Amino acid sequence: MSATILELGGRELPDALDDVRRYCGLPWSGGQGEVSAFSYYDALSERREDDVVRPVDVLSTAALHPGLRWRDLQYFSYEAPRLQSWLETIPGGVDLADADDDLVEEVARLPERFDGHPGLSILSKVLHAKRPRLIPILDRTLTDWYRPISSRRGESAWRDCVRLLHSDLAAPSNRAILRAIRSELRVELGAAVPSELRIADIAIWMQVRGFRPAGRDLEKGATP
């Protein structure tokens, strides 16, 4: 594997830097930055990396999760104390790459901790907002990317994806690339710079769905 190319799930993402810059609204090799979910989810100054799930943490998921429902809002309102209690046990500022085995397994057991949740996809998006370095975002693009290894689909792939991402992000070559990308982005994005985990997530989404063969335009109607 080239030391300059990100490799996740056993496959290369040669356009990772370009893809992430484009998604974050920054100039890239094909043109100027574009509007994406980044401004409405990742870059919100109202979000705080603490233990309290606030309305902004839930509502901002609509940028990634079309069809936010009343029962979703109800769940996060009623379950806010239980979510906070769990988050208080999960250290902040820890990258998934650096998490010890116990912490990785605790993240992998997320569905078991919150039975009755409205869907692991939206739950992961809300909790990613609170622990953006540690908790992945579950969506079909991620599970499909790792399916050749995990052989699982949908929510059943969560545990495998957490473990596989942990291993991939910790690989020295990937770590160096992700840190270099993050360092470059920080110059232009400041405090809004995505975590290494989120950069990997964006790179996967853009590799699969972002560049079209003709025109290389962002797919209309699909926002990571």
Pairwise CA distance, residues 68 & 62, whole Å = 6
Cα atoms in the Cβ-side hemisphere of radius 13 Å centred on 88 = 7
Q: Which helix or strand (DSSP H or E) is residue 6 part of? A: strand 6-8
Tokens of residue 6, six digits: 């990100």
Burial of 103 (0-12, 13-18, 19+ CB in 10 A): middle
pTM, full prediction: 0.91
Pairwise CA distance, residues 79 & 8, whole Å = 34
pLDDT band, residue 4 (cuts 50/70/90)? confident
pLDDT of 151 > 90? The answer is no
Least confident of 21-35, 50-64, 81-95, 100-114: 21-35
Provide the percentage of residues in the chain whose pLDDT is more than 70. Answer: 92
DSSP for 126-143, please give it. Answer: HHHHHSTTTSPPP-HHHH
Pairwise CA distance, residues 23 & 203, whole Å = 9
pLDDT of 71 > 70? The answer is yes
pLDDT in tens, 176-210: 999 999 999 999 999 999 999 999 999 999 998 86
- Predicted confidence at residue 177, as pLDDT, reads 97
